[in-house]
Amino acid sequence: MTGKRYKISIIGTGFVGLATGAGLAELGNEVICADVDRDKIDSLNNGYVPIYEDGLSELINKNRRLSRIYFTIDIALAVKSSDIIFLCVGTPSEENGEVDLSQVESATEDIGKSLDRYKIIAIKSTIPIGTLELMEDILKREGRIRGEDYDLAVVPEFLREGRAVYDFFNPTRIVIGADKEKVDKILAEIFLPLNAPIVHTSPVTAQLIKYASNAFLAARISFINEIANICDHVGANVKEVIEGMKYDKRIGGDYFSPGIGFGGPCLIKDLIGFIKMAEKYGYKANYLRSILEKNKQQTEYVLNKLRRLLGDSIKDRDIGVLGLTFKPNTNDVRNSLAIEIIRKLRENGANIKAYDPKGIEEAKKYLDGINLYNDIYETTENVDALIILTAWEEFKEIDLERLRSLMKNPIILDGVNVLDSKRFKSYGFIYEGIGVR
Ligand SMILES: NC(=O)c1ccc[n+]([C@@H]2O[C@H](COP(=O)([O-])OP(=O)(O)OC[C@H]3O[C@@H](n4cnc5c(N)ncnc54)[C@H](O)[C@@H]3O)[C@@H](O)[C@H]2O)c1
């Protein structure tokens, strides 16, 4: 993969920043990644990548050895060493659901103080309409003039956690929101080696593309959860319903996995942010609201299923939980519905034992007083029921004979439809999924 090489800085070295930085270094660019989190930078400089993503650690350490990627807490150094700045800081939700832009604001201030020549500031963070004006004001206060000292562009990120490295090198599309041809051309050149379709548009439209894409993914999940719940009630099998729908190209089968709902660091906060943004501009987005509402109901639906399986009471029952991360192949538990369900189970008086292949350390930050284990079988010993909350492949391989002998009651609630119901039933388990029995 060859293309024109650039000096690039990445501001904010989280999931997006690390994947982007590592990928751009692999393409031959000179990359310097900066973050305010000293521990993160120290561990990256010691060769330890603080997030679990398939292939990321290898990619970063390879490019460190080739002196194509550096890590620093010195934002000014990063800015000064680069021609193009990718802003990858977090944009979490505020209490009221609006987007918290404090990381964008402080990073912009730091960039403004350090600009030493014209640079492109390309924003990968998911930002609501109005953010560019906010950034421009901050940069103006630092004496920087748009067009002379810098230009802003929006390059939204579509990578999937758990597939970040793969997605960097195999993007479905690159969206470049720039209002100057020169800026658009340079950014397109950077991503040219990836051979992806490039959508050239305005910054505002690029922002909308990101929000609309996430809202659509959320809608698919809420839709199929609704169908799965109906399947439960009428005695149909949602897996077969999906099989029967997916051959219609207008529908397709991707991203149709019934379960506990959508969580994670992006979908919920971006959907709420989108709704709030629409309202701010005078439009009440009722359809988007219903997607969110459905998602909240799904957690209750799953809890009620468990309650029913346990004979109507969760209090003082011992529940084993498999899966804590918001999806498999990541250690990310931010906004994980597994964590929310555990909290609710505890509020209802249940005793929880839990296991996750990669998320235990992260989960400890969110769950106090929970027995977390490093092994499926320790977790399931003497439990009244087992609930599966993340679709890790590893759970498909459970030794059912051993499991059956360990559990107090053979009750399995598969909240993510990852297990083979027939196999479980053949070992005498009472199995329920979401829309499958
Ligand atoms: N995680 C995803 O899968 C994903 C996918 C697409 C888009 N996004 C969007 O990308 C953005 C980043 O997401 P993320 O998951 O990588 O976030 P993250 O929280 O993992 O990383 C953000 C990083 O920015 C750093 N930071 C905060 N303030 C800073 C500052 N002033 N200067 C330098 N660094 C600073 C933080 O220490 C942190 O390491 C968000 O807007 C998110 O919505 C995320």
**Mean pLDDT throughout 2-23?**
93
Q: Determine phi and psi for 226, rounding to 5 degrees.
A: -60, -45
- In this structure, the residue with its CA closest to atom 11 of ligand 1 is 125
Apex 178 CA angle, 172 and 184, nearest 5? 75
- Could you tell me if the CB of 12 is within 6 A of ligand 1? yes
- In this structure, the residue with its CA closest to atom 13 of ligand 1 is 90
Q: Tell me how far apart the alpha carbons of residues 80 and 408 are, in angstroms, rounded to a whole number.
A: 62
Of the residues 38, 52, 89, which should be mutated to test ligand 1's pocket, given the most ligand atoms within 8 Å of the CB? 89
Q: Do domains 7-200 and 217-432 have the same CATH topology?
A: yes
pLDDT confidence tier of residue 4, bands split at 50, 70 and 90: confident
Q: Is the pLDDT of residue 13 over 60?
A: yes
Strands 351-355 and 84-87: unpaired
pLDDT of amino acid 97:
87
Q: Is the pLDDT of residue 250 over 70?
A: yes
214 C-alpha to ligand 1 centroid (Å):
16
List residues bridging with 354 in a β-sheet: 321, 372
The residue ranges of every structural domain in the chain are: 7-200, 217-432
Number of H helices and E strands in the chain, helices first, is: 17, 14
CA distances from 311 to 301, 305, 414 (A): 15, 10, 17
Q: Tell me how far apart the alpha carbons of residues 14 and 51 are, in angstroms, rounded to a whole number.
A: 8
- Could you tell me if the CB of 40 is within 6 A of ligand 1? yes
171-227 pLDDT, tens digit each: 999 999 999 999 999 999 999 999 999 999 999 999 999 999 999 999 999 999 999
Contact 400/424 with Cβ under 8 angstroms?
Answer: yes
pLDDT of amino acid 3:
62
| Closest CA relative to residue 263, chosen from 325, 209, 322, 320 | 325
State what percent of residues in the chain have pLDDT above 90: 96
- Could you tell me if the CB of 8 is within 6 A of ligand 1? no
Q: Is the pLDDT of residue 131 over 90?
A: yes
Which CATH code of 3.50.50.60, 1.10.1060.10, 3.40.50.720, 3.40.50.2300 fits the domain covering 7-200?
3.40.50.720
In the DSSP assignment, the letter for residue 192 is: G
pLDDT confidence tier of residue 2, bands split at 50, 70 and 90: low
- Composition of the chain by helix, strand, coil, percent to 5: 45, 15, 40
How many of the other CB atoms lie within 10 Å of CB of 122?
Answer: 24
Q: Is 88 a catalytic residue?
A: no
151-162 pLDDT, tens digit each: 999 999 999 999
142 C-alpha to ligand 1 centroid (Å):
24
- Could you tell me if the CB of 167 is within 6 A of ligand 1? no
Quickly list DSSP for 24-45. HHHTT-EEEEE-S-HHHHHHHH
Mean pLDDT of the chain: 96
3-state secondary structure (DSSP) of residue 411: strand
**Mean pLDDT throughout 328-344?**
95
107-125 pLDDT, tens digit each: 999 999 999 999 999 999 9
pTM recorded for the entire structure: 0.94
330-345 core/surface letters (b: 16 or more CB in 10 A; e: else): bbbbbbbbbbbbbebb
**Mean pLDDT throughout 347-355?**
96
Superfamily of domain 217-432: NAD(P)-binding Rossmann-like Domain (3.40.50.720)
Q: Which of 104-118, 362-376, 408-422 has the lowest mean pLDDT?
A: 362-376
| Closest CA relative to residue 334, chosen from 367, 375, 380, 357 | 367
